[in-house]
Amino acid sequence: MPELEQALAEVAAEMAERTDRGKVATYIPQLGKVDPKKFGIAAVTNDGRVILAGDADQPFSIQSVSKVLTLTLALGKVGDALWQRVGREPSGNPFNSIVQLEHENGIPRNPFINAGAIIVSDVLLAGHQPREAIGEILRFIQFLADDETIIIDREVAASERATGYRNFALANYMKSFGNLHHEPELALGVYFHHCAVAMSCRQLAMAGRFLANGGRNPATGHSVVSPGRARRIGALMLTCGHYDGSGDFAFRVGIPGKSGVGGGILGIVPGVASLAVWSPGLNENGNSKLGSIALEKLARMMNWSIFAP
């Protein structure tokens, strides 16, 4: 196997030459302004190395990647009671589909599709005003990344709210089944804001360290979640982290991952490293096109697939 530094540099150089970069998300207007030529990748190993290539220090809107971190926070609050309101199965449908909610009585398939993440936001809202819940989420992310400079991009949050008609439909539909405990606009306020967190690849990979290290922060040894919970979050990332492209990502890359329409992907190599990649252009499933290709190449070069002998 090549050295990780060499592998990251080779992957970044190859991605810089690619012209088939996918299409930047435009249904959230602020995301449509991002330069599609950007590419960054970061690896934070369990032994403390931080390896970067490309635009790895430029913040971007992490969007649905944040759902891994809000899920972690929600499980810490209510534990397995969460699974009475959200499923754990792949959806097989686009991330903003309302179709399954009708057949399944307002219970979202998993916490990573939009409907499921709105329920998670509803859980985090319990006992709080939206501003308080949003602040708690941001502080948790800053704690995981050990970086107090991480912010929420208010312009992106406002852009999401102004165009989030389907998310309002999902929230109202779940409210009609009694699965949303707060008013839709309150839960959605939390949801839109945590999706608008801005992080660089370095910061995102730092935030994911605990999932690569059995639930513990490898720098401090402090437990964030139990080893069993870390495994279960990783299992959901593998099976549900890329919407209706989750099976293909598992097939090609073979590690747990969570994508966002901002072009970011958080990848976890259990026992080894946390990875983050960013390329704004998306494929037909709404996942970073070059980010997925880059992680596939890196996992193959380093023999990192969890299915590898």
Q: What positions carry a catalytic annotation?
A: 64, 67, 191, 243, 261
Give one word for 249, left, alpha or beta, with left for phi > 0 and alpha for psi -120 to 50. Answer: alpha
Instruction: Identify whether the C-beta of residue 211 lies closer than 8 Å to the C-beta of residue 230.
Output: yes
CA dist., res. 280 & res. 277, Å (int): 10
Quick one: tokens of 244?
A: 């209706």
Which residues have a Cβ under 8 Å from the Cβ of 102 and sit 6 or more positions away?
A: 173
Quick one: tokens of 305?
A: 């697939």
Pairing of strands 23-24, 281-282: antiparallel
35 phi and psi, to 5 degrees? -70, 115
